[in-house]
Amino acid sequence: MLFAPGSRWQYSNTGYLMLGALIERVTGQTYFAYMAEHVFTPSGMRETGFYALDEVVPNLAVGYARANHYNPAANSWTPNTYLTTVKGSPAGGLYSTARDLLAFTNALTEGRLLPRSWTDSLFRPMVSYGPAKKYGYGIAEEIVRGQRVLFHDGGAGGISTELDLVPEHRLAVIVLSNYDPPAGPRIARAALRMLIPVLRRPVD
């Protein structure tokens, strides 16, 4: 181990793969079937899934990347079709829409996916990893303009996403970008910095 559990933080895709393997072992379902039955369907997520590269998916966006590790000399935008995995995993590779992710956020915060006590634990920060930043069970916390923001972001070649939640005001900012990181987080945080002062203004 790199450090004692709970003493430091370092993002780990392997940790999420282990969680997916545990779900399969405990439930007897594939990870994909479990997510569809217990997360996507109860949340009303109709445009979300782990699509394979050889499947035809209506309205599927193509990612565009400059960071191509197969061709380091590339200096122009290229489709990320051959940079992505054949199919996603517990560590990433999920396709979705902003509308579906809002439906997921509402289901989670309203207690329709987990018991309220579990959701509270999920939203509880555990370990500091930067100025005004903490990480918990897959969800990070940052103080933005004095406001507590819960978030998770994702990224790869031609993919950059962020979901920010301001629980005090039931505000969600969702950005899905088909460009390299940090396109998604930059847009999400710019939106938050504009919205937070408005949230604090008294209503006439």
Q: Does the residue 28 lie in any domain?
A: yes
pTM over 0.75: yes
Domain span at residue 101 reads 13-50+88-120
Q: Does the residue 32 lie in any domain?
A: yes
Per the CB < 8 A criterion, the answer to whether 91 and 21 are in contact is: no
Q: Does the residue 202 lie in any domain?
A: no
Per the CB < 8 A criterion, the answer to whether 174 and 154 are in contact is: no
Q: Does the residue 6 lie in any domain?
A: no
What's the confidence (pLDDT) of residue 201?
63
Per the CB < 8 A criterion, the answer to whether 180 and 79 are in contact is: no
What's the confidence (pLDDT) of residue 173?
98
CB hemisphere CA count around 159 (13 angstroms): 19
Alpha-carbon distance of 144 to 193, in angstroms, equals 7
What's the confidence (pLDDT) of residue 134?
95
Residue from 46, 7, 62 nearest 176 by CA:
62
Q: CA 118 → CA 121, 123, 158, distances in Å?
A: 5, 9, 34
How many domains is the chain built from? Answer: 1
Q: Does the residue 59 lie in any domain?
A: no
Q: Block means of pLDDT (10 residues each) for the chain, length 204 residues?
A: 87 94 98 98 97 90 84 82 89 96 97 95 92 92 93 94 95 96 96 89 54
Q: Does the residue 75 lie in any domain?
A: no
What's the confidence (pLDDT) of residue 131?
87
Q: Does the residue 175 lie in any domain?
A: no
